Chains A and B, each alone.
Chain A
Amino acid sequence: MSWIAALLASIGRAVLNALAALGRISIYSGQTIGHMARPPIYLKEIGSALLSVGYFSLPVVGLTAFFTGGALALQIYSGGARFNAEAVVPQIVAIGMVRELGPVLVGLMIAARVTSSIAAEIATMKVTEQIDALVTLSTHPMKYLTVPRVLAGLVMVPLLVGLGDIIGVFGGYIVGIKSLGFNSATYLHNTVNFIEARDIVSSLTKGAAFGFIATVMGCYYGMNTTRGAAGVGKATKGAVEAAAVLILAANFILTSIMFSI
């Protein structure tokens, strides 16, 4: 019986720790939003974060979306052939990219590229006392470091998702007309006619939510790192894991809400 009690106790501890972490992250997110609404606003840092989160993520997001759109077209064509439905490739690629794959893939690429970079940078600043230095220089670390990055996530990730959707659909289009024998005009006509406004709204809303999650996780784990290089590594790993899991969970919740309306 004692091993059952020990097992239950360890499960209970893990659940309590997870809930406590979720609570701390929620408080941190709330504080971030609170600081966004109050001056001072560091415009130079916001500009730099917009470039880092948005512009410099464009190549990786574009390539990921392009290849995924192309692969999706091939999969749908070969799968659809089993019940003579090859013709639906444009529609399924469009809806698949815009509703689901575009936001999720961009979110995960941002978690890999941006969350890790933010967490490592802030964690290094923490262990080298740069965060303490900011405080002694009368600068609030949350306003100077967190707010610009989270704002950049909220603004740039939806834009990246929109571009990713377009590039993904374009990838499917290239494969469709070059390899699968589709007529160019018909492919484009079927794609455009099938997409609804709410698909685009859903995609961009998910982008904003994923951008918020990815940047908040990077900042939170960076600010709460422990000492030394091992601490920085642990913070970076934890931030990416948490961002990826929360993005996928948020995707499920948002999809449930948006398409049950």
Chain B
Amino acid sequence: MIELSDVHKAFGPKKVLRGVNLKIEGGTSMVVIGGSGTGKSVLLKSVLGLIRPDSGTITLDGENVLTAERDAFLARFGMLFQGGALFDSLPVWQNVAFRLLRGSLKRPKAEAREIAIEKLRRVGLTPDVADLFPAELSGGMQKRVGLARAIAAEPEIIFFDEPTTGLDPIMSGVINDLIREIVVEMGATAMTITHDMTSVRAIADNVAMLHDGVIQWTGPVAEMDASGDPYLDQFIHGRAEGPIEAVR
């Protein structure tokens, strides 16, 4: 279980997180929604230890993420970045098998390549993509490669940062379905941040809305439409009028 307690983070005078409290049960899919610039990515990166909170605690199965042994801690995670974050200088298969080619999870090169091709197949890409470079792929293909890399080492926890941003509706649907299938198939704990409501409905078991630096509402996705929370209602219906100022 991932638990955030009273997490604060500011960048200079800008207070991004103002006391976030959130629990993500093991084996469930939590989607964090919120407008652009509300700190969703900061929240996710704080859990990974990429950003150090100013105060508050973040624990994974009771262990503080900042004091956990880094290699063992990170080996439990896979992450799909918003822009893919594929390494330009490496061919696709080496991107996917990056973790399997070095460090504690190192495998023989041929085996790592085989696993990479199998993971590429899992996300709907053919083996001939393996030797291409990321710059030769479309945006949708890059997302799939990023997804294959995130699951290559079969992590217990997978984070998805804006998985459908920049994709057309059909490709978004494909990525959403893939995420849902993979998370269920692997029994992984998932945390997704997005402002795409189609993704939310496709991926989430539970939803949390981040607004003004705090979790405004959290609950099962089935209860989201009848929450009665004016902030959540305005957000999920995309209305300009409501308690959330349209211009931030």
Contact = CB atoms under 8 A, between A and B. Distances in A.
A135 interface: yes
Contacts of A40: 102-103
Contacts of B74: 135-138
A192 B85 CA distance: 54
Interface string A39-69: 0101000000000000000000000000000
B: interface residue count bin: 20 to 34
A26 interface: no
Contacts of B77: 136
A139 B103 CA distance: 8
Interface in A113-137: 125, 128-130, 132-133, 135-137
A143 B77 CA distance: 20
Contact of B79 (A125, A130, A133, A139): A133
Contacts of B71: 138
Interface in A8-53: 40, 42
Contacts of B124: none
B50 A136 contact: yes
Given A132-B45, A132-B50, A133-B87, A138 B81 contact: no
B99 interface: yes
B134 to A, nearest CB: 10
Contacts of A132: 45, 50, 81, 85
Contact of B85 (A42, A128, A138, A139): A128
Contacts of B127: none
A133 B85 contact: yes
Interface residues of chain B: helix, strand, loop or mixed (majority): mixed
Nearest to A42: B102
Contacts of A135: 48, 50, 74
B227 interface: no
Pick the most buried of B70, B82, B102, B105: most chain A CB atoms within 10 A of its CB.
Answer: B102
A: interface residue count bin: 10 to 19
Interface in B72-121: 74-75, 77-79, 81-83, 85-88, 98-99, 102-105
A129 B103 contact: no
Contacts of A129: 81-83, 85
A6 B232 CA distance: 51
Pick the most buried of A40, A125, A132, A139: most chain B CB atoms within 10 A of its CB.
Answer: A132
A100 B111 CA distance: 52
Contacts of B103: 40, 138-139
A218 to B, nearest CB: 16
Contacts of A137: 74, 98-99, 149
A136 B102 contact: no
Contacts of B149: 137
B85 A130 contact: yes
Contacts of A133: 79, 81, 85-87
B83 A128 contact: yes
14 contacts: A40-B102, A125-B87, A129-B82, A129-B85, A130-B86, A132-B81, A133-B87, A135-B48, A135-B74, A136-B48, A136-B79, A137-B98, A137-B149, A139-B102
